[in-house]
């Protein structure tokens, strides 16, 4: 808001005493003054990024905190004093001056028309426009900030090429979170024959959306909330993408300084930005990750990449080592003297258009014939999905950057494009014969499975009926057996396996109850969690864990083998983890040496992948709510597996976070918004993961941490070391080496990003996995972590610190 100040501009004295959205050539905006848009949504003024003395002219949201900058005028040339001045020149340009009168930035209007009354106005959409007098019709704009986007696309803004103005609008990242200078990443529409969005780091492609097919971009681009309805115009005059109506002032698309493009919507209830779309949400979105002639498939983790039908790895050795860069080559080379055939791939992202040919007037049959005429043609597809798929698109050479799409409810299969890959006739015949042979075998398998299931179901039904008859009224408190989808272990089997719950077989005890090691008759080792009468968890938590874990299958999640619900017993039978839990290694001075640097990093990445599966890649969105080192188990190869899902919660598709009066979790791992206000989301798990990362790197517990120079917890100590440029001091002394500086810096930075106080500042697990799996990325600068307050050292003894660090909160009423 403009204050009631006196502004000296070219001998004119102007007194402005109310909030305005307009200035004329007789007025200026000085540093400390502001324009407020009509409707009050946006502000134009001067700002300094966090921890910077530089001043920038920018536009930001008026009533949203923290400050959200959506446009910066002088990105590449900051003002070094606090005497900046924005004025409207007589020739119809905006001029930004510093205290010495130097021109820092200019709107550089190319208008050839005569301007009588140049006026600058901040519109309700956040668009800063130059007009002649009071003409605010868009056709009358002399200049507008919407033509020069920075890192943010507001509704009503456009990306792409305009033949009339010659503008090619794109998003350009900030150099860092605190530096608006143009960064290394751009997000733009390639303006070739077939437009598509491309994310680049310099000149290197990092992601592409897939080509425009008349209905949408041939990709897995989706917005989960429907808050924004984008429009796309493609003709000889313009190639324009516009993200929704200018009337919507609470949705933005941001090109992050770290190379991520995300769309956010402002949640008025929680007062935070909620992510509703990510351009790169998994590894298959990394450009060309599988090399040529291959396809990426997130359902195939950890293998991820498959050769196309009729192709084999260029190097089997590298392929088996998960190095897919070399891609695949044909089993049989094409021979134009013999008739070739085609294999059809459905629900795929079409290859990049590197070498291609199009004809808008051909149908698909004619397209196939055209491909067969050219020996270099390798695949074809319909060019346009509108009006029956008219048009022909043909590829030559290698097929690059393909992925298999994930099916979603409501997807319109008629709007999808099939890819027809050209193969030697012998390969087509071989693939077809293989499929025919599989069909009878599959039928036999299906019949046997169905028969076996029917017999098993009949047995279970009889068993349940028998058990119910034997139970008294106390034994009827929960009809769990009706819902179980896992093998049922008899009590006799469990007793035999554990030697009647012998003390020597006891592995430990948690909130659920004691855990025993057992050996089944066939020799398989098991871990038995037995619900105790004094357990802080109850029947509902037992049932919750059964129902959740039965539906989850991932290499980094512990496998539930079955349950025992005979009589009053409630037991979970898991695969046995030979090395027990992570906390027994990293917090033990002797055993921690067995967890060397590489294994620690592998453990961190494994936990991240397991958590990503829970949040995004499984059929359900699951919040663990009690992620901690003691709930990370290690197998014989030291591979991590997330366990203990008694407190986990399933999120519905339309939920972003939930509030509860029943807080479940462990002090030291709970996020601030959850531990204080009972608000939990996927970002709550991200916080717990960040704590684990810092504990693994340091070998120290968060809450039990003590330091002679301060009374912060481990998170606060790590933050202090980071800000003071001493990150190497965090490394576990038991590692005995400082040769891992770059890796330590990256993993420490990711850990600090995960434990930031505000949930909206924390990355998603897909972003975490991407950051951990890729080198050379420019990561965001972490903000202050949660619970960055010094504790009272006289309030606890050392023993009390250690005791409190292990306390698990269960079913606590929030106050």
Rg of the chain over all Cα atoms, to the nearest angstrom? 31
- The answer to whether 36 and 60 are in contact (CB under 8 A) is no
Cβ(128)–Cβ(143) under 8 Å? no
Using CA atoms, how far apart are residues 209 and 221, in angstroms rounded to an integer? Answer: 7
Please report which helix (H) or strand (E) contains residue 541, including its range: helix 539-549
User: Which residues share a beta bridge with 69?
Assistant: 60
Q: What are phi and psi of 98, to 5 degrees?
A: -95, -175
Side by side, which strands form the sheet with 348-349?
305-307, 294-296, 403-404, 348-349
Within 10 Å of residue 407's Cβ, how many Cβ atoms? 8
Is 705:648 a contact under the CB 8 Å cutoff? no
Catalytic residue among 626, 644, 685, 761: 626
Task: Name the residue among 479, 488, 346, 505 with its Cα closest to residue 421.
Answer: 346
Longest dimension (CA), the chain: 100
Token reading at 593: 């040496």
Question: DSSP per residue over 35-49, as a string?
Answer: EE-TTS-EEEEEE--
CA distance 30 to 16: 12
271's enclosing H/E stretch is none
Q: 698 and 731 in contact (C-beta within 8 Å)?
A: yes
Helix ranges (DSSP H) in 260-408: 316-320, 364-373
Catalytic residue status for 626: yes
Q: How many CB atoms are closer than 10 A to CB 798?
A: 9
CA gap 47, 179 in Å, rounded: 12
Question: What is the Cα–Cα distance from 120 to 130, expressed in whole angstroms?
Answer: 5
**Residue written as token pair 């990242």:** 173
Q: What is the DSSP letter of 781?
A: P
Write the secondary structure of 183-238 as one string of H (helix), E (strand) and C (coil): EEEEEEEECCCCCEEEEEECCEEEEECCCECCCCECCCCCCCCCCCCCEEEECCCE
As a whole number of angstroms, the distance between CA 538 and CA 545 comes to 11
Token pair in block for residue 307: 């050769």
507 contacts 585 by C-beta, under 8 angstroms: no
Alpha-carbon 404 to chain mean position? 18
Q: What number of other Cβ atoms are within 10 A of residue 354's Cβ?
A: 13
Q: How many CB atoms lie within 10 A of CB 54?
A: 17
Q: Which residues are catalytic?
A: 626
């Amino acid at each position: 808001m403009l204050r009631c100040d006196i502004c000296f501009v070219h001998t004119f004295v102007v007194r402005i005493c109310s909030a305005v959205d307009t200035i004329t050539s007789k007025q200026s905006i000085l540093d400390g003054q502001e324009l407020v848009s009509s409707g009050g949504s946006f502000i134009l003024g001067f700002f300094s990024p966090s921890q910077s003395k530089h001043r920038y002219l920018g536009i930001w949201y008026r009533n949203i905190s923290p400050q959200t900058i959506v446009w910066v005028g002088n990105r590449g040339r900051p003002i070094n004093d606090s005497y900046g001045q924005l004025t409207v020149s007589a020739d119809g340009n905006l001029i930004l001056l510093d205290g010495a009168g130097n021109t820092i930035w200019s709107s550089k209007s190319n208008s050839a028309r005569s301007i009588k009354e140049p006026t600058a106005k901040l519109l309700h959409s956040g668009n800063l426009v130059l007009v002649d007098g009071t003409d605010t019709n868009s056709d009358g704009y002399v200049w507008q900030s919407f033509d020069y986007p920075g890192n943010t696309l507001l509704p009503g803004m456009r990306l792409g090429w305009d033949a009339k103005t010659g503008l090619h609008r794109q998003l350009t990242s900030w150099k860092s979170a605190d530096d608006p200078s143009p960064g290394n990443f751009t997000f733009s529409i390639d303006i070739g024959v077939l437009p598509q969005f491309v994310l680049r780091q310099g000149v290197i492609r990092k992601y592409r959306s897939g080509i425009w097919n008349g209905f949408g971009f041939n990709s897995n681009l989706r917005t989960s909330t429907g808050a924004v309805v984008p429009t796309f115009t493609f003709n000889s005059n313009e190639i324009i993408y516009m993200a929704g109506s200018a009337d919507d002032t609470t949705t933005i698309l941001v090109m992050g300084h770290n190379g991520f493009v995300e769309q956010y919507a402002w949640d008025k209830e929680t007062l935070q930005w909620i992510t509703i779309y990510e351009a790169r949400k998994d590894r298959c979105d990394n450009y060309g990750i599988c090399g040529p002639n291959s396809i990426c498939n997130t359902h195939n983790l950890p293998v991820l990449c498959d050769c196309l039908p009729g192709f084999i790895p260029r190097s089997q050795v590298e392929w088996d080592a998960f190095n897919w860069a070399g891609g695949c080559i044909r089993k049989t080379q094409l021979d134009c003297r013999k008739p070739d055939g085609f294999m059809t791939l459905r629900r795929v992202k079409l290859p990049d258009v590197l070498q291609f040919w199009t004809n808008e007037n051909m149908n698909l049959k004619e397209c196939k014939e055209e491909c067969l005429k050219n020996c270099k043609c390798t695949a074809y597809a319909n060019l346009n999905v509108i009006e029956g798929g008219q048009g022909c698109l043909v590829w030559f050479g290698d097929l690059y950057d393909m992925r298999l799409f994930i099916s979603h409810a409501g997807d319109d299969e008629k709007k999808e494009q099939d890819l027809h890959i050209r193969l030697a006739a012998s390969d087509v015949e071989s693939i077809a014969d293989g499929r025919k042979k599989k069909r009878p075998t599959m039928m036999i398998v299906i019949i046997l499975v169905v028969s076996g299931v029917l017999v098993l179901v009949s047995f279970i039904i009889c068993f349940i009926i028998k058990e119910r008859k034997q139970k008294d009224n106390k034994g009827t408190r929960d009809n769990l057996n009706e819902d179980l989808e896992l093998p049922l272990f008899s009590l006799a089997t469990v007793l035999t396996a554990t030697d009647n719950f012998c003390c020597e077989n006891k592995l430990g005890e948690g909130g659920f109850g004691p855990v025993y090691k057992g050996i089944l008759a066939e020799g398989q080792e098991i871990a038995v969690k037995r619900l105790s009468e004094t357990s802080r968890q109850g029947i509902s938590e037992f049932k919750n864990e059964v129902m959740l874990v039965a539906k989850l299958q991932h290499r980094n999640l512990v496998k539930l083998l079955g349950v025992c619900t005979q009589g009053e017993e409630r037991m979970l039978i898991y695969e046995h983890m030979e090395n027990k839990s992570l906390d027994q290694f990293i917090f033990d001075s002797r055993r921690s040496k067995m967890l060397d640097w590489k294994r620690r990093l592998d453990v961190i990445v494994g936990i991240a992948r397991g958590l990503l599966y829970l949040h995004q890649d499984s059929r359900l969105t699951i919040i663990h709510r009690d992620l901690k080192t003691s709930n990370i188990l290690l197998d014989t190869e030291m591979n991590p597996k997330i366990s203990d899902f008694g407190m986990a919660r399933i999120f519905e598709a339309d939920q972003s976070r939930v509030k509860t009066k029943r807080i479940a979790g462990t002090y030291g791992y709970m996020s601030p918004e959850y531990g204080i206000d009972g608000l939990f989301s996927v970002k709550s798990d991200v916080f717990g993961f960040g704590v684990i990362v810092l504990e693994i790197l340091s070998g120290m517990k968060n809450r039990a941490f003590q330091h002679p120079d301060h009374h912060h917890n481990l998170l606060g100590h790590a933050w202090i070391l980071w800000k003071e440029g001493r990150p190497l001091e965090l490394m576990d002394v038991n590692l005995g080496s400082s040769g891992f500086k770059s890796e330590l810096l990256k993993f420490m930075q990711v850990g600090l990003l995960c434990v930031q106080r505000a949930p909206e500042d924390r990355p998603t697990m897909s972003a975490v996995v991407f950051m951990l799996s890729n080198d050379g990325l420019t990561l965001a600068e972490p903000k202050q972590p949660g619970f960055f307050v010094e504790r009272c050292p006289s309030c606890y003894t050392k023993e009390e610190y250690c005791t409190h660090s292990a306390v698990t909160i269960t079913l606590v009423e929030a106050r």
